[in-house]
Amino acid sequence: MLTARLVLERLNKEERMLERREQVSRSFVKQLFGLLYVAHSNAVYGMTDINGNTRNVDKSYQGVPLLIAAPPGDTDLASYTRYDNIVHIAGNQVGIQVGTGTSAATPADYALASRIPHSSHIPETVNSRGEFYLDQVTPGEYEFYGATWYCTPFKCLWPHELWRVRLKMYREGLPGTVTIGIRTSRSGADIVTATLDGDALTTDPAGQWVDIDFASHPQLNFLTEYNIVMRAPGGNSTNSVHVICDADEVYAGGTNYYSSNSGGSWSIHAGSGYSYLCLFEEWGRDVSKGIEYGGCEVLMPTFAAPNGEFTIRRFFTNVSGGNWTINEVGIYALGTRYSDECWSFCIARDVVSPGITVLNGELLRVTYVPQITV
Amino acid sequence: MDAQVKARPKLQVINDEILQLLVPGEVGAVLELALKDKDGKVTQRRIMKSKSFVRQFLPMLWLKCQLLDGQNAPSILYSTDGDPSSMRNSTLFMACNAPINNDDYGILAGSGSTSPTLADYALETLIEHGTGSGQLQYSAVTFGAPSSDATTSQFTITRDFANGSGADVVVREIGLAVRAYTAPYVDTYHLLIRDVVSAITVPNGQTLTINYRIQTVV
């Protein structure tokens, strides 16, 4: 028989114990058996991920159903599924989780009722710079107008709300209104747009940095690619906007694309020995209130007949500027599919009653100890 | 020979409702034994709480929780041969989908009667596959997909053992072994569960169906 103890310890900054709770973990849920079923049977099995979506999980080649050990915070947890198919997930999405939900656990639970997200800061009230590219190995530029659109991508390495994009531009003639949109897919819809008066841009071919501020602020997610899509629909070849680029870019997050049909289709602006990327900056704020997720450790088993046990442990640090009351704790495990995909699945959810309040600056150590007894 | 196993036996669901023998918080198994005559009629049935995840289960679960693809683990597991194994994560890892005629892994039957201990790494006396004296014919292992009701989740592992030996065969121990792939590239087998049951006699021509229902209760 396997049982598990759940231990919650509240510590001050010096890691001195302030409060300790121990209870029997009661709540391994159905998703645990989904992953064990995949492990035992080698079958493909449809499971519900932490976002409520059905995902087919397998363990083809090197699949890792039931992986719990994870790096801290937003650190990339990379794994293989088949041959060289690498999958990525943020470390905080795997391993022990905490939340504020109070509803009783059921076998059908696929996520914590109200998970506290990972965050290492007090919610921000001023903009910080996120992704940027300011190198110019070889000076270059691109001209957009009418149905000729231009796109520069970036990969988000810091989850935040997007408030501002900066581009270096100049005008030729009077291009009229310039629209800057942000898209997750170049050919998809804008998730936010802003306009500027193209006729007010400099005519200096060196260009000027232009701040493009958005009235609404979409959330940019970790490791997701976004596209800055530029167009001046009222312009033409003599009334256009020129955007300053590096013609030999060395940015790991992507390469420019251009479109001659108003974004209906796109071609990469690269070729043998060159690739273009706009000089750009994007600015925003991480306004989420969360708790800092440390790495999730899975310690070596120990045995003392008739028992054997091992420890799963994670530290949480409250640097949110306020208090958190933890009412639920759980474990998310990684499941994979050979087709280069991975997801988190909730395998345990325990309600902690009464909740344990972690003050700003304090730590919470959560420990699960699975144990077998013969 | 009066009995033969099917290549893929029909999954035997003894109860439509999930039978709950565990207390909240436990992860364990319900062991079901059904003895059937030549016509498939159940002549004897037992349902009990499986008691004995043995030592190998815990490091296997531990490895599953922390081992990345392709990595080798320290030698903390013992194979059913009693050898320490340095396991490598792969498709085979923890699989118990044994094919027909295979008595290396999957659900296994034995005749040993010594009480289980944490250190057990194999059945005490394995009943081998075959039609010779004291042998049973092992079917392929089949699975029932995970299901749940308001409090209980489970999935089922099933195997048929047909007696074509010409005489009674007595089963006293049952186990579940899984396959793994250990460095350097060798298949090994590891016992996760060993249960000793009061003797169940499988007459010649009859079939013993064993279900392990891996279960947890909220």
The C-alpha atoms of residue A282 and residue A225 are separated, in whole angstroms, by: 13
Residue from the list A62, A68, A374 with its beta carbon closest to the beta carbon of B66: A68
Residue from the list A3, A108, A308 with its beta carbon closest to the beta carbon of B148: A108
Sole residue written with tokens 């309600």: A351
A270 neighbors A264 (Cβ within 8 angstroms): no
Q: Which residues, other chains included, contact B65 with Cβ-Cβ below 8 Å and sequence gap of 6+?
A: A66, A67, A68, A69, A298, A312, A333
b/e sequence A250-283, b meaning 16+ C-beta within 10 Å:
ebebbbbbbbeeebeebeebbeeeebbbbbbbbb
Overall average pLDDT of the B62-78 stretch: 71
Identify the pLDDT of residue B8.
Answer: 54
Residue of B nearest to A300 (CA): B62
Instruction: Report which residue type is found at B98.
Output: A
A186 neighbors A162 (Cβ within 8 angstroms): no
Q: Is the pLDDT of residue A197 over 90?
A: yes
CATH fold, domain A128-285, is Jelly Rolls (2.60.120)
Give residues 114 to 143 of B whose Cβ lies within 8 Å of A: 116-120, 143
Range in A58-72, B93-107, B143-157 the model is least confident about: A58-72
Expressed in angstroms, the distance from the first to the final Cα of chain A is 7
Of chain B, the percentage scoring pLDDT greater than 90 comes to 61
A2 touching B (Cβ < 8 Å): yes
A86: chain B residues, CB-CB within 8 Å: none
Identify the pLDDT of residue B73.
Answer: 66
Identify the pLDDT of residue B180.
Answer: 85
Instruction: Report which residue type is found at A176.
Output: G
A71 touching B (Cβ < 8 Å): no
Q: Both tokens of residue A367?
A: 């420990």
A65: chain B residues, CB-CB within 8 Å: 64
B187 touching A (Cβ < 8 Å): no
**Quick one: pLDDT band at residue B183, thresholds 50, 70, 90?**
low
> Are A2 and B152 inside 8 Å of each other by CB?
no
Sole residue written with tokens 């079917």: B139
Residue of B nearest to A334 (CA): B65
The C-alpha atoms of residue A136 and residue A138 are separated, in whole angstroms, by: 5
> Are B65 and A333 inside 8 Å of each other by CB?
yes
The C-alpha atoms of residue A330 and residue A335 are separated, in whole angstroms, by: 16
Report the 10 Å Cβ neighbour count for A319: 14
Closest CA to B6 of B26, B36, B28: B36
b/e sequence B96-130, b meaning 16+ C-beta within 10 Å:
bbbebebbbbbbbbbbbeeebebebbbbbebbebe
Range in A132-141, A222-231, A281-290, B17-26 the model is least confident about: B17-26
Closest Cα in chain B, distance from residue A325 (Å): 23
Helix%, strand%, coil% for chain A, nearest 5: 5, 55, 40
B218: chain A residues, CB-CB within 8 Å: 26-29, 105-107
Range in A226-235, A332-341, B37-46 the model is least confident about: A332-341
* ipTM of the complex as predicted: 0.86
Residue from the list B55, B69, B154 with its beta carbon closest to the beta carbon of A62: B69
The C-alpha atoms of residue B107 and residue B127 are separated, in whole angstroms, by: 11
Average predicted confidence (pLDDT) for chain A: 93
SS3 A21: strand
Closest Cα in chain B, distance from residue A108 (Å): 7
A60 touching B (Cβ < 8 Å): yes
The C-alpha atoms of residue A269 and residue A258 are separated, in whole angstroms, by: 6
B148 touching A (Cβ < 8 Å): yes
Q: Which residues, other chains included, contact A34 with Cβ-Cβ below 8 Å and sequence gap of 6+?
A: A45, A47, A57, A335, A345, B146
B149: chain A residues, CB-CB within 8 Å: 107
Closest CA to B6 of B138, B201, B174: B138
B27: chain A residues, CB-CB within 8 Å: 1-4, 28, 32
Residue of B nearest to A59 (CA): B91
Q: Both tokens of residue A101?
A: 């939900």
Closest CA to A94 of A122, A124, A74, A108: A74
Identify the pLDDT of residue B184.
Answer: 66
Residues pairing with A282 in the sheet: A165
Instruction: Give the CA distances from residue A37 to residues A285, B95, B158, B199, in Å, rounded to whole numbers and listed in that order.
Output: 42, 9, 13, 30
A280 neighbors A133 (Cβ within 8 angstroms): yes
Give the DSSP H or E segment for B59: helix B57-66
pLDDT of B141-181, one tens digit each?
Answer: 999 999 999 899 999 999 999 999 999 999 999 999 999 87
Q: Both tokens of residue B155?
A: 């999935």
In chain A, where the domains are located: 2-122+289-373, 128-285
Report the residue of A3, A24, A30 to disrupt the B interface, i.e. the one with the largest count of B CBs within 10 Å. A30
A232 neighbors A149 (Cβ within 8 angstroms): no
Identify the pLDDT of residue B23.
Answer: 86
Range in A306-310, A368-372, B13-17, B190-194 the model is least confident about: B13-17
Closest CA to A353 of A35, A100, A137, A68: A100
The C-alpha atoms of residue A104 and residue B139 are separated, in whole angstroms, by: 42
Residue of A nearest to B56 (CA): A308
Give residues 37 to 76 of B whose Cβ lies within 8 Å of A: 51-55, 57-59, 61-62, 64-70, 76
SS3 A178: strand
SS3 A338: coil
Longest Cα pair distance anywhere in chain B, in angstroms?
A: 49
- Which stretches of chain A are DSSP H helices? 30-41
B62: chain A residues, CB-CB within 8 Å: 298, 300-301, 310
Q: Tell me the three-class secondary structure of A205-270, residue by residue.
A: CCCEEEEEECCCCCEECCCCEEEEEEECCCCECCEEEEEEEECECCCCCCCCEEECCCCCCCEECE
Sign of the four-CA dihedral A134, A190, A201, A259:
positive
Peptide bond into A139 cis (omega under 30): no
- Model pTM? 0.77
Identify the pLDDT of residue B16.
Answer: 47
Identify the pLDDT of residue A25.
Answer: 92
Sole residue written with tokens 């395998």: A347
Q: Both tokens of residue A153?
A: 């991508």
